[in-house]
Structure 1
Amino acid sequence: MTENILNQKKILFIGVKFYHYHQEVIHKLTKDYCSSVTYFPERDTSIKYGIVNRLAPNMLESYQEYYYKKILSKIKEKKFDYFLVIRGFQMPLWFVQKVKELNPGLKTINYQWDSNTNSPFIDVDSKINILPEFDAKFSFDYKDVKEHDDIEYCPIFYTDEIKKIGMAPRPADYEYDLFYFGSYLPERYKGLLRFIEYAEQNNIRLKTYFYMPIRYYLIERLKGAKIDWKLIKFKPMNRKEYINLFLKSKAIVDVSNEKQTGMAMRVIDVLGSGKKLVTTNKWIKNDEIYDEKQIHIIDINNIEIPKYFLLDQTVHQPKEISNLDNWIRKIFAID
């Protein structure tokens, strides 16, 4: 049995506060790996940050400086064995260096689940150029890994509740052929319209849930964007409903962010649940997990889904490489 090197270790974790995923990481590290985790979001998540970001973006750097000084005051008397950063938006270089200084022998890990194109972290301003300070560097983005030898590829993870879907018996039939789920990006809205049209023309049972915060909707409308409000949901889908619709759907649709090449969360959930995937992400074809019986790559401007793809009854097992346990073992170098 592999030794649990994280047993009784103290981990400082600073990362994106994204839905429930940061909580899943903390729960897994504490419950299954017996670690002690001190967590802080990578930025202030109060309304104050939103005001500064929207109305005074030139003050964002000083605001983040203030935020990290507050974090340092809370942790300076503590000792840590590991320092895990997921993304690290506008994290000051001095902060990383100070954490290392206060914790001799500290093992440092940086994981990027956004691309350098979408959220720059490589060769940025010297005040926030933190990446060289880390012992281990990982990214979910195929292109970033290909272009930078010091960054290792590691896909995002799926959670245990997704794994349960993959292990459960498959129904004889599904309520929906395709489930189109996502948050607003111009290319995703375009994809939504195309899929609705394609489903109607090909007698495909399509379920959609397209989330867009009301403020973004109003801003886009003021900019002149044509968005049919009847196709939009102004409240994010709760996790229970998401899981329920996953169970009812034969295949999941992924219209990828054009500024990223890595596999999105919904793609990882597909691999963990054993569902079929229809995606615009051509990079996935070069991944070892690619299986043409499970994954169909499309051109959003000319959608074509072969009938056999949805009719095929092959049972696809969950891809273990992408589960949360393996993600932890990868980034913490647990052999």
Structure 2
Amino acid sequence: MNDLRDKNILIIMPQFYSYQSKMREDLEARGAHPHFYNEEPEKTKFLILKNLGDLLHDKHIFDGFNKKLKNQILSEMPEDGYDYLLVIRGNVLSEQTIHELKNKALKSSGKSIYYAWDSFENMRHKGEIGRLFDWRGTFDSVDAKESKLGYELLPLFYSDEFDGAKLEAPTEYKYDYISVSAFFPFRYRYFKAFKKANPDKKMCLKLYLNPSVYRGKKIKDPKLVKNLDMDIISFEPFKPEEIREMCRNSKAILDLAHEQQQGLTMRTMETLGIKRKLVTNNIYLRDYEFYNETNDLILTDLAAKADKAEQTGDYSEFILPGGEWLDKPYLENEGVRQKYSIHSWIDNLFIN
């Protein structure tokens, strides 16, 4: 474990669920002094600026945000500067902002760290920002292999709330399968297919649809949100403790990543942490040391299968395994599992 006692750490990252607070807890427990800043404007403003930038072909649309962020950081920085600069994703940060923060906020002996909490293809800078840092890592195994900038693979983590070693096992499982995530049309389509195909199983499939997104889609794409299945849709976000309890009370977790996603989702890591079986459409799960067929099932070609099912009315290809797989004892490897905790993740970030 790297000694972070009394180290001042500047962290610029997305506000993503409660993960900032989990990181803060770990760093402060080590005696560090983390200072967090958001890496892009709040969502509505970000979307407005992004759309304007695309429309006007303006590469400098986020310059105002960068200037405001940089000035705020410099005005609030510790008197003797920061020991570490950690940027996670950095979707709209400019090279000038990074250079100025390294020169004015980071100690001469300090270290700069970049972590791609998203695939390069999904970020405006396509991972090129990483070359400005002393160390660069990514959660995406394919990006790590193919990048010429020396990115190291560092998967995401599970927090203590999802540490199965610290949770009481249920005496009786409430669900066979649960899935809780944000609304995307592809997920909603597949959830409906899984629901139709598995009436014999105890399923809890939930998608959070932001009310403002729903109102926008009613105007732009009314067919998409017409006659929504309210057994699947929730207009209220789920609290982390609610999600954890759903996972704890289920035999398996169904995790449907974006169709082109290569890195493992946070839900995948939480499933590993809580020691539950996993069904996912991410074929890259096979690249990881904890993958095994006793615990993990990979689904393929869901789009083609959904097309066929909707044409024929035969949803049999969406039938999930029953007791023959669900009730087979979970195959444990505690040494491997602990390598993916938030504490190991932070060790790996700051030990480099």
Aligned to 2:281: 280
**Contact 1:179–1:206 (8 Å) recurs in 2:** yes
Aligned to 2:17: 19
Q: CA deviation at 1:60?
A: 3.4
Q: CA deviation at 1:48?
A: 5.0
RMSD over aligned Cα atoms? 2.3
Q: Secondary structure at the match of 1:268?
A: helix
Is residue 2:39 matched to residue 1:42?
Answer: yes
Gap regions ≥5 residues in structure 2 = 306-316
Aligned to 2:217: 220
Q: CA deviation at 1:116?
A: 1.1
Aligned to 1:234: 235
**Contact 1:137–1:151 (8 Å) recurs in 2:** yes
Aligned to 2:312: none
Residue deviations 1:251-307, cap 9 Å, x none? 000111123211111111000000110101111012111011111111333335333
**Contact 1:212–1:234 (8 Å) recurs in 2:** yes
Gap regions ≥5 residues in structure 1 = 124-128
In 2, Cα distance between the equivalents of 1:330 and 1:65? 28
Q: CA deviation at 1:55?
A: 6.4
**Contact 1:85–1:110 (8 Å) recurs in 2:** yes
**Contact 1:29–1:37 (8 Å) recurs in 2:** yes
Q: Secondary structure at the match of 2:143?
A: helix
In 2, Cα distance between the equivalents of 1:234 and 1:55? 28
**Contact 1:72–1:95 (8 Å) recurs in 2:** no
Is residue 2:81 matched to residue 1:79?
Answer: yes
- Equivalent residues, number: 323
Aligned to 2:314: none
In 2, Cα distance between the equivalents of 1:305 and 1:208? 13
Aligned to 2:321: 306
> Given residue 206 of structure 2, which amino acid in structure 1 is its aligned partner?
Y
Is residue 2:153 matched to residue 1:153?
Answer: yes
Q: Secondary structure at the match of 2:98?
A: helix
Moved more, 55-64 or 213-222: 55-64
Residue deviations 1:39-84, cap 9 Å, x none? 1111233865565456676573233233333334324655111111
Q: Secondary structure at the match of 2:34?
A: strand
Residue deviations 1:76-103, cap 9 Å, x none? 6551111111101111111211222232
In 2, Cα distance between the equivalents of 1:119 and 1:48? 17
Structure 1 residues 169, 214: CA separation in 2 closer, same or farther (over 3 Å shift)? Answer: closer
Q: CA deviation at 1:220?
A: 2.6
Q: Which residues of 2 match residues 252-263 of structure 1 at below 5 A? A: 252-263=253-264
In 1, Cα distance between the equivalents of 2:123 and 2:186? 18
In 1, Cα distance between the equivalents of 2:147 and 2:44? 36
Q: CA deviation at 1:25?
A: 0.6
Q: Which residues of 2 match residues 132-211 of structure 1 at below 5 A? A: 132-149=131-148, 150-163=150-163, 165-200=164-199, 203-211=200-208
What TM-score comes out, normalization by structure 2 length? 0.84
Moved more, 213-222 or 17-26: 213-222
Q: Secondary structure at the match of 1:101?
A: helix
In 2, Cα distance between the equivalents of 1:155 and 1:69? 29
